[in-house]
Structure 1
Amino acid sequence: MLLDCDEQLFMAYKRSGEKGTEKVLSTWSEAENKLQADPKILGTALSPNLFLVNEEMAMNIAFSTARKYWGHVTTDTQAFFDKQGMDAKFVHDRLNDFFYTQRGKEIFFEQLFAQHTMDFERLIWLIFGKRMQITMPVNELQTIFLYKLNNEYFVHMIYKEHTLFWHWLFMKKIYSLFIHKPLEQFTFIHEMLGHFEHSARKTYTHVNNFVNNYKKVLDKCITYVDNHNSTCLEKKQLHLYQIVVHYRLAEGDNRCVKSLITAFEADWRYSMYALTEKEKVLIAYLLFHIAHQEKNDELVIQYGEYLLEDERLNNYAIEIMLEYKELLPNRKPTPPAIVKNYELNFLENLYAILLDHYVRTERYHEGLTLLKEHKLASNKKIHAALVQKNYSNEHFIAIEAYVQQDIALLVNNSLQHIGLSVDEWRRNYRLPEASYYFVAQSASLHILNILKVLFVTEQYELFEKLMEIYKKYLLIDDHFESLRVFISTYVEQE
């Protein structure tokens, strides 16, 4: 079920491509003289009156479209269900119960309204109550989007056929809403613009220097929206999203990000929409990583300690991840492990970076405090040894056992045949083409920082055992040479 404007633009696109659709849009724009001037940042805007609908119509469009494409079993989908142990009759009955009852329609719309998107995988989870691990078959209907603005709804579909057109039209509609609608009507700005960026990548993958072009377009749009809207909470959310986008796409140059943060803090510090604790944590997290990239030890330590104090980052991490999905690496933390890629979890990475800068600035006792207070800064057994001062042989054996288990899981994703996995690891972990090369590099650097802290703070028993484990499983020549020079220099100074 297509809206009239979607159908007309689709026909124009099939005849003449994007130029044909822009010509139709220009004609419509000339006939519509009630809207404010169109800045034409992203071509000609659509009148929101053409695609915003009431709640009943939004429900009917979304549900009837989903039923048309997802409400019956194709050969491909049944083959998928067969692998899940679901026979055709069971699947057919469940789909009918869902798609041909008022209750099914209500559940569908509730989920779509709450999540803003629906795809086949999410629908299967909704109907059958479990997430499927096998890749879903590609369907003609790929995604349904739904957003509410005041009492109106924006509903849009992405289809497999001419998918670039549907992504282009989705971008055009979101752009048009920001140009023509008051900012106060928007909810979940970060999520809507995240979907906008995803469609931009799909639409303009062929464009050279996409990142710079996208940032320029985004900045122009935000400047325009700024100038045509009064101060409001939604404007602050828009500015914060702009900062995060520039940070993610900085490509090593953070000058613009820092400039945006400075202006943001100045603009909102004394407004009635002053920064919340969560927003302060988000800004500190960005500045922490920027300082690390720029090797600014003092700022890394300042922001790192702020984020750890009162568990600030941990307290707001889920909210930040929900709003900015790609910002915080959220691989499940592994307190027992020490051989791992520390960049895959935001807290483990924070501890590793902070410890590195403690060592760089010779703040070894602060490094030791970090290791004693936080399991994720080393691992459970090393932490227990430091806190309980348990330096028994059994405890050291347990530390080595954890290392062997880490390696077995990295090499073969199994704790069977640990000895064979360790042998394979030893043969390959120094090779750049090995799948676990970066894990070895990350773990080696972090363990060496732990060793430096232990040596200077005279935790000699644990230092010697950990050094023995390092030489056995993680020895990287240039890393180890830096440790040898460090110890030699430190002893000479003493």
Structure 2
Amino acid sequence: MLKVDEQVLKESNGKSGQPLEEAIFRLSNRPDFQQDIFGAMLPIDSLLVNRTRAQNLIFSIAKKYWGKVDLFLHAALHEISIDLENANDRIEAFFSSPQGKKALFDYLTIHNELQFENLMALVLNKDLKLPKFKSVGGLRQIHLYQVGSKYFVQAILNDRFEFWDALFSKKIYSLFMQAPLNSIQQANELIKRFRFLVETYSTLNQSVITTNQLITYIDQENVRSYQLKELHLYNVISHFNGGKRHFQKIDALIEDIIANWGTGKWALSEKEFTLLIYIKAITAAHHKITADVMEYGKYLIMNDRLTNHSIELLLEYSDVLPNLKPEPDSLVKRYDKNYLEQIFYILIDALIQNEKYSEVVQLIQQHEIASCMSIYEYFDDAHHNEDALFKIEATVQRDIAFIVHNSPQYILQSVEEWLKNYNDEKSAFYEIASMTSSHLCNLLKAFFATEHYELFEKLMEVYKKYLKIDSHFNDLRDFVSAYVKN
């Protein structure tokens, strides 16, 4: 444990909140170390250690709490069928070897965080997933970040873990307020950690506000750099995930990023620009600005931009893109659980509202994920035979069977249960049914307006049989009536 940890622990009696704030203020003993952004700061020199000291700290903390299989570790390892005697011998050998110290440090320099299961993976040379316990040997995690030629080490103990989490957030804040941004390696990961920690002991709203203020300060105090651009991108994501109040500010934040980072050495990459356009598309749909939804939606599917960058985006921004596996074979589903299905869903809705019916049909003809494989194959078949139409109903029945019983074996029973419950707003099926009903009604409008009457009639039959929601159906009926009159 660092000296500053011992001092703050003693001064605050291990309490977070105001006692922690007052303890840090007394220890820093500098009025200019009190800022409106997040209160008192700790001097940066008290937070950083050299490489050797960091290695020794990490090793000694890990050995103290995880270096021997106690009763609790015994239970944890027993539950995942690990040979306990062998595990204990391997742990002791690991902490008796100079290679063990190096292995811990190397792991942390790459991953920034070490938990017990990560240690066991190093010791046993295989990946493990331990059950989630409140504590393993009294230590939750060890964190490591490099700042210049020095290192920032933080252990989170199980005893008074709220205090250690709060102290960790104050230290991160102190680092960003005092260290040049380009000296902080993995700065983006560290700012994410900061927001997460603040949220755990305040609110989501407050964590977004505080993080935004901190990033604004960092922006004012540092020169342009890739790290600074990353922080601005994260600020957008933080607002995107920060609730209704912060959702309103996203467009302005994105416009500011595009204006300031659109050109130059650290200009936005196509991947980053694609992320921002995706966020703008979802935001526009939320605000019901259909012209923007059409513009951004078309941009994302043009040249398969969203698809081409999907792996990178999902790896780096999994907290933005809904990433359930796409289901092009399914028609009955939550269209907002996969980023690509979501974009087609909101784009088709916007096109229908703007009477772009032929464009909707073109999307369906070109992309199976815009509807489902059975409808896509209907258009792909030059003869439009009846078998293709019957496949649509079979698709819906199979989808319902998987939703209700997670199996295609009980179609009749599944359909019966679905029909009894899907219209009930309290039902587990309602959100899926409502979203599918809305999407199908949009497809039906497009098929009717473009005179695909055979497909319209079959899909209408399927819709009324399995998915009809009165408000959607009444709107569809009014549309058809008005279209015929015109």
TM-score (normalised: structure 1): 0.89
How far 1:360 moved relative to its partner?
0.8
Amino acid at match of 1:248: N
Equivalent pair of 1:77/1:137 in contact (CA under 8 Å): no
Identity of aligned residues (%): 36
412-421 or 375-384, which deviates more: 412-421
1:283-325: CA deviations, max 9, x gaps? 2112111211121111111111111112222223333333333
Equivalence for 1:172: 170
Equivalence for 2:24: 25
- Residues in 1 aligned to 2:103 and 2:301: alpha-carbon distance in whole angstroms: 41
Q: How does 1:59-78 map to 2 (within 5 A)?
A: 59-78=55-74
- Residues in 2 aligned to 1:88 and 1:226: alpha-carbon distance in whole angstroms: 51
Equivalent pair of 2:14/2:163 in contact (CA under 8 Å): no
Aligned counterpart in structure 2 of residue 330 of structure 1, from 299, 311, 323: 323
Amino acid at match of 1:325: S
Q: 1:77 to 1:30 in 2, by over 3 A?
A: closer
397-406 or 139-148, which deviates more: 397-406
- Residues in 2 aligned to 1:472 and 1:463: alpha-carbon distance in whole angstroms: 14
Q: Which runs of 5+ in 2 are unaligned?
A: none
Equivalence for 2:218: 225
How far 1:269 moved relative to its partner?
3.2
Please tell me whether residue 183 in structure 1 is matched to residue 176 in structure 2. Answer: no
Equivalent pair of 1:141/1:160 in contact (CA under 8 Å): yes
Q: 1:478 to 1:204 in 2, by over 3 A?
A: same
Equivalent pair of 1:426/1:473 in contact (CA under 8 Å): yes
Aligned counterpart in structure 2 of residue 161 of structure 1, from 159, 162, 168: 159
Equivalent pair of 1:146/1:154 in contact (CA under 8 Å): yes
435-444 or 100-109, which deviates more: 100-109
Aligned counterpart in structure 2 of residue 44 of structure 1, from 36, 40, 48: 40
1:268-292: CA deviations, max 9, x gaps? 3344322221221122112111211
Task: Report SS of the residue matched to 1:187.
Answer: coil
Equivalence for 1:367: 360
Equivalent pair of 1:282/1:320 in contact (CA under 8 Å): yes
Please tell me whether residue 315 in structure 1 is matched to residue 312 in structure 2. Answer: no
How far 1:179 moved relative to its partner?
0.6
Equivalent pair of 1:339/1:439 in contact (CA under 8 Å): yes
Aligned counterpart in structure 1 of residue 191 of structure 2, from 193, 196, 200: 193
Aligned counterpart in structure 2 of residue 391 of structure 1, from 384, 402, 412: 384
How far 1:104 moved relative to its partner?
4.8
483-492 or 100-109, which deviates more: 100-109
Equivalent pair of 1:191/1:323 in contact (CA under 8 Å): no
Task: Report SS of the residue matched to 1:145.
Answer: strand
Task: Report SS of the residue matched to 1:343.
Answer: coil
Please tell me whether residue 261 in structure 1 is matched to residue 254 in structure 2. Answer: yes
- Residues in 2 aligned to 1:44 and 1:5: alpha-carbon distance in whole angstroms: 14
How far 1:146 moved relative to its partner?
1.9
1:245-282: CA deviations, max 9, x gaps? 22222505644222222222222334432222122112
Equivalence for 1:137: 133
How far 1:342 moved relative to its partner?
0.8
Equivalence for 2:349: 356
Task: Report SS of the residue matched to 1:138.
Answer: coil
Q: 1:38 to 1:13 in 2, by over 3 A?
A: closer
Aligned counterpart in structure 2 of residue 403 of structure 1, from 396, 408, 411: 396
Equivalent pair of 2:15/2:163 in contact (CA under 8 Å): no
Q: 1:19 to 1:358 in 2, by over 3 A?
A: closer
Equivalence for 1:112: 108
Equivalent pair of 2:48/2:150 in contact (CA under 8 Å): yes
- Residues in 2 aligned to 1:112 and 1:436: alpha-carbon distance in whole angstroms: 44
Equivalence for 1:377: 370
1:40-63: CA deviations, max 9, x gaps? 531211122212223333333334
How far 1:15 moved relative to its partner?
6.1
Equivalence for 2:335: 342
- Residues in 1 aligned to 2:60 and 2:276: alpha-carbon distance in whole angstroms: 43
1:323-342: CA deviations, max 9, x gaps? 33311111111221111111
- Residues in 1 aligned to 2:383 and 2:126: alpha-carbon distance in whole angstroms: 47
Equivalence for 1:279: 272
How far 1:362 moved relative to its partner?
0.9
Equivalent pair of 1:76/1:137 in contact (CA under 8 Å): no
Equivalent pair of 1:268/1:275 in contact (CA under 8 Å): yes
Amino acid at match of 1:30: N
1:83-108: CA deviations, max 9, x gaps? 54444335435545655544554444
Count of matched residue pairs = 483
Equivalence for 2:239: 246
Q: Give the aligned CA root-mean-square deviation in angstroms.
A: 2.7
459-468 or 290-299, which deviates more: 459-468
Equivalence for 2:469: 476
Equivalent pair of 1:407/1:422 in contact (CA under 8 Å): yes
Equivalence for 1:488: 481
Equivalence for 2:51: 55
- Residues in 2 aligned to 1:96 and 1:404: alpha-carbon distance in whole angstroms: 58
